[in-house]
């Protein structure tokens, strides 16, 4: 009798509790489609505020791996035998982000070239420089006293090298590839979600539609996309013959692909999560893998090299057979084990461009959160009609110091301009658009910069030689060299950092903390790149839970 009564009481309590919770839920703001601010409906058929209340988390975009952010010690572990003193240890925090599983390969870059060739045929004089400006420099393989013509002629396009990392790409070209990739991925996402009709992207590529897709143009002026024909190209989300366009609030538009910052790259290469014990790292890593050696110490594959690098003078892979690293130049991606984050070739194969402008000083006093040097804050240009300006048919070109002509803006893209006084007046977090030289130790960074001006007797600290490329009356390039005797450095605001060792480098450069620099307009046979993407929303994909009685690593 007691058991029956207790059971009845428990049942009653459960029912009362659930009714109470339901009451609280209804009185505390209702369903997710009812505003907690006003009580109005969200996503009502009648109109009003429309918002993606079903959004869960950011989808992992093609080719990327999720990297959960956190704190780590950025900087050198090995002795500074080069005496650069350019990366002293500092504590940094990195937000969660995504990074390419592998370096961008030849076949990935060829897809980019194929798109440009289809949309902007190089045989049309108006478009010739677009395609030619994107072409990798295959002559980087040549050597005055070496026979490398096979790579010069075959490395980029031959199927044997399809999954090898692309090289001969300068920093500017890498950035433009990332911008193109952003637009193509978002174009596919909008088609998948019904905002674009099926196969519109291929019709645009084949010239059946007079225009292309730009993510920023779509977000700012959707009617300008596809040459103004977007109204007739919307998909199943079109309602009552009224075009329906996705917005940032739709949760469908992906953040941009970009080059990783130096801090992100170093954090991802170290992959310290693999050596975590409770709330500490067991130690710092010399390489992206555990241990102090470049050979595999595990039972399976013992003695195998863990990366593709130069082992000694005249030794690019080792003695043929069991003990070599399997490559003499670059190697096919995924030839070696990934690090603890699932990222391949974070040491060896090719070094990689990152987004940062190079300075020997890492100013952690001003920023220890998502540290990055290279910000140039821009905004969309507004036309006389008060609307965002979209470049219809015009193309903006830039001539690099090497003489290579690249397209800065393509037709259909939003025109961007530096922010001005309207955005910077009385701000405390930034005071101008270009912040590449902020607090870098150069006198021009100080409040007394006007005392120095252009006086060559007191040269600036970072004033590398300046090369000018101009055209004569016949349109031919005239190359001029800076012969000034007052230049004191090879560093300026167009010199970028590259990270990681390559097939040409000794093991010393495999340390993720090592950093080197090269002008952003130059390309080599040992520098490639991979893309990254910021994480929006939660830091982690899964909430941290304490596991009792178990070690959490």
Angle at 460 between CA 470 and CA 408, to 5 degrees: 35
Burial per residue of 427-442, b for 16 or more beta-carbon CB atoms within 10 angstroms, e otherwise: eeeeeebebbbbebeb
Q: What angle do CA 402, 406, 411 make, to 5 degrees?
A: 170
pLDDT-derived band at 552, boundaries 50, 70, 90: very low
Residue 282 has pLDDT above 70, yes or no: no
Q: What residue ranges in 34-163 does DSSP mark as E strands?
A: 64-67, 70-74, 90-94, 97-100
Structure tokens at 490: 């090879």
Local confidence band at 395 (pLDDT 50, 70, 90 cut-offs):
confident
CA torsion sign for 325, 328, 330, 334 is: negative
What's the CA gap between 305 and 311, in Å, rounded?
10
The reported pLDDT for the residue numbered 40 is 94
Give the C-alpha separation, 76 to 511, whole Å. Answer: 8
User: How much of the chain exceeds pLDDT 90, in percent?
Assistant: 51
CA distance 130 to 113: 10
Lowest mean pLDDT segment, chosen from 44-53, 174-183, 361-370, 423-432: 361-370
Dist. CA 56–CA 79, nearest whole Å: 46
> Mean of the per-residue pLDDT values for the chain?
85
**pLDDT higher at 468 or 106:** 106
Q: Write down all domains in the chain, each with its CATH number in brackets.
A: 54-193+246-374+495-541 (3.90.1580.10), 438-492 (no CATH)
Write out the DSSP string of 441-492: S-GGGSTTGGGTTT-TTS--SS-----EEEE-TTS-EEEE----S----S--
Give the integer Cα–Cα distance in Å for 99 and 60.
10
Q: Which residues contact 291 (CB under 8 A, 6 or more apart)?
A: 297
Give the highest mean pLDDT range of 20-34, 83-97, 292-306, 311-325.
83-97
CA distance 351 to 529: 7
In sequence order, which residues have a C-beta less than 8 Å from that of residue 546 and are 6 or more positions away?
A: 552
User: Encoding tokens for residue 521?
Assistant: 């307009």
pLDDT of 391 higher than 80: yes
d(CA 249, CA 368): 30
pLDDT per residue as tens digits for the range 307-349:
888 888 988 887 787 777 888 999 999 999 999 999 999 999 9
107-135 pLDDT, tens digit per residue, is: 999 999 999 999 999 999 989 999 999 99
* Cα(197)–Cα(242) distance, integer angstroms: 14
For residue 451, give both structure tokens.
């005392």
Span between the terminal Cα atoms of the chain, in Å: 51
Taking the CB of residue 416, how many other CB atoms lie within 10 A of it?
14
Say if CB 136 and CB 168 are below 8 A apart.
yes
Quote the tokens at residue 334.
């995924």
Q: Residue 204 CA to chain centroid, in angstroms?
A: 26
Characterise 304 by phi-psi region: left (phi > 0), alpha (psi -120 to 50), beta (else): beta
pTM, two decimals, is 0.89
pLDDT tens profile 215-229: 999 999 998 999 888
């Amino acid at each position: 009798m007691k058991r029956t009564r207790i059971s009845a009481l428990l049942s009653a309590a459960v029912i009362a509790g659930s009714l109470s919770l339901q009451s609280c839920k209804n009185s505390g703001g209702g369903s997710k489609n009812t505003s907690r601010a006003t009580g109005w409906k969200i996503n009502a058929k009648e109109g009003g505020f429309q918002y993606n209340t079903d959004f869960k988390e950011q989808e992992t975009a093609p080719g990327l791996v999720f990297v959960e952010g956190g704190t780590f010690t950025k900087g050198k572990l090995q002795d500074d035998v080069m005496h650069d003193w350019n990366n002293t240890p500092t504590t940094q925090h990195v937000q969660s982000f995504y990074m390419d599983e592998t370096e961008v390969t030849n076949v990935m870059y060829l897809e980019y070239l194929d798109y440009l060739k289809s949309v902007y045929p190089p045989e049309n004089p108006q478009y010739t420089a677009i395609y030619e400006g994107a072409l990798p420099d295959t002559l980087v393989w040549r050597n005055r006293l070496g026979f490398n013509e096979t790579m010069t002629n075959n490395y980029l396009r031959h199927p044997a090298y399809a999954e090898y990392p692309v090289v001969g790409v300068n920093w500017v070209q890498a950035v433009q590839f990332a911008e193109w990739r952003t637009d193509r991925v978002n174009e596919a996402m909008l088609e998948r979600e019904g905002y674009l009709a099926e196969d519109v992207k291929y019709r645009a590529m084949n010239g059946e539609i007079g225009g292309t897709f730009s993510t920023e143009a779509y977000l700012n002026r959707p009617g300008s996309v596809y040459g103004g024909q977007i109204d007739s190209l919307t998909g199943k989300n079109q309602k009552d013959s009224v075009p329906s366009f996705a917005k940032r609030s739709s949760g469908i538009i992906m953040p941009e692909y970009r080059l990783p910052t130096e801090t992100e790259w170093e954090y991802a290469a170290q992959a310290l999560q693999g050596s975590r014990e409770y709330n500490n790292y067991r130690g710092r890593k010399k390489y992206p893998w555990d241990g102090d050696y470049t050979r595999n110490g595990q039972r399976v594959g013992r003695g195998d090299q863990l990366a593709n690098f130069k082992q000694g003078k005249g030794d690019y892979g080792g003695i043929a057979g069991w003990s070599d690293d399997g490559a003499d130049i670059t190697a096919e991606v995924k030839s070696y084990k990934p690090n603890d984050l699932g990222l391949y070739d974070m040491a060896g194969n090719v070094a990689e461009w990152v987004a940062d402008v190079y300075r020997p000083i890492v100013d952690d006093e001003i920023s220890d959160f998502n540290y990055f040097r290279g910000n140039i804050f821009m905004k969309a240009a507004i036309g006389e009609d008060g609307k965002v300006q979209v470049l219809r048919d015009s193309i903006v070109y830039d001539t690099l110091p090497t003489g290579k002509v690249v397209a800065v803006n393509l037709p259909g893209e939003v025109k961007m301009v530096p922010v001005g006084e309207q955005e910077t007046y009385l701000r405390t977090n930034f005071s101008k658009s270009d912040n590449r030289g902020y607090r870098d130790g150069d006198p021009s960074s100080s409040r007394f910069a006007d005392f120095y001006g252009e006086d060559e007797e007191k040269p600036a600290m970072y004033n590398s030689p300046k090369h000018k490329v101009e055209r004569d009356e016949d349109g031919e390039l005239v190359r001029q060299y800076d012969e000034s005797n007052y230049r004191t450095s090879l560093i300026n605001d167009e010199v970028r950092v590259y990270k990681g060792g390559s097939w040409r480098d000794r093991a010393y450069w495999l340390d993720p903390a090592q950093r080197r620099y090269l002008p952003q307009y130059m390309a080599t046979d040992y520098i490639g790149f991979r893309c990254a993407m910021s994480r929006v929303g939660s830091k982690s994909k899964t909430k941290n839970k304490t596991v009792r009685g178990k070690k959490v690593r």
